Amino acid sequence: MSVTKDFSDYDTLIISLRERDIEAFNHLYISLRKRLFVLALYIVEHEENAKDIVQDLFVDFWENRIYEKINVSIEHYLYRAVKNKAITLKKKQTYIASAKRELPYSVFENGYGALDNNELSKELDAAIHQLPPMSSKVFQLHYINHLSYKEISLKLGISHSTISTHMDRALKKLRSYLQKSQ
């Protein structure tokens, strides 16, 4: 006969998490996920991104035993972590939007091969090949093959936020490379 623990008691929750009690983790996840999602959604204004933020946080929280390092309440930590992750993603999205305005329009709408200027097309191709492999692949899948972040996520088995990080890295390096070549 199993004894049901009262995870609403903070000490019981902490002790159970440190014992790797999956029921304690599930209790925490179920009791906070909706509120954390709403907070993330309020900041990033995109449902899939908000879901990814909350899911990634809980995965990291459990797999990396973050609960063992927390010196504030777990709830406070999770709210702060979601807020920080959402703000970081929002900044990345703003940066990517800015980078899109600076690169030629046809790169994003028609693929870089559709550029009128053959020389610029060659420079862009060279710049793409200098990117880190995963950033290059993500950039090409999104802007050349016209796949959505969701499709890329399924194809490569990486999260939406990881795709965003690779896109951020790719656009920053492409902009820098193209500015140097002018």
Q: 141 and 155 in contact (C-beta within 8 Å)?
A: yes
**Which CATH architecture does the domain made up of 103-180 adopt?**
Orthogonal Bundle (1.10)
Q: What is the pLDDT of residue 28?
A: 93
Q: What is the percentage of the chain residues whose pLDDT exceeds 70?
A: 84
**From the candidate CATH numbers 1.10.1740.10, 1.10.490.20, 1.10.760.10, 1.25.40.10, the one assigned to the domain spanning 10-93:** 1.10.1740.10
Given a cut of 70, whether residue 110 has pLDDT beyond it is no
**Rounded mean pLDDT, 165-177:** 83
Q: What is the percentage of the chain residues whose pLDDT exceeds 90?
A: 27
Q: What is the pLDDT of residue 1?
A: 46
What are the angstrom distances between the C-alpha of 15 and each of 9, 18, 57, 68, 75? 10, 5, 20, 10, 15
CATH 1.10.1740.10 segments of the chain: 10-93
Q: What is the pLDDT of residue 21?
A: 92
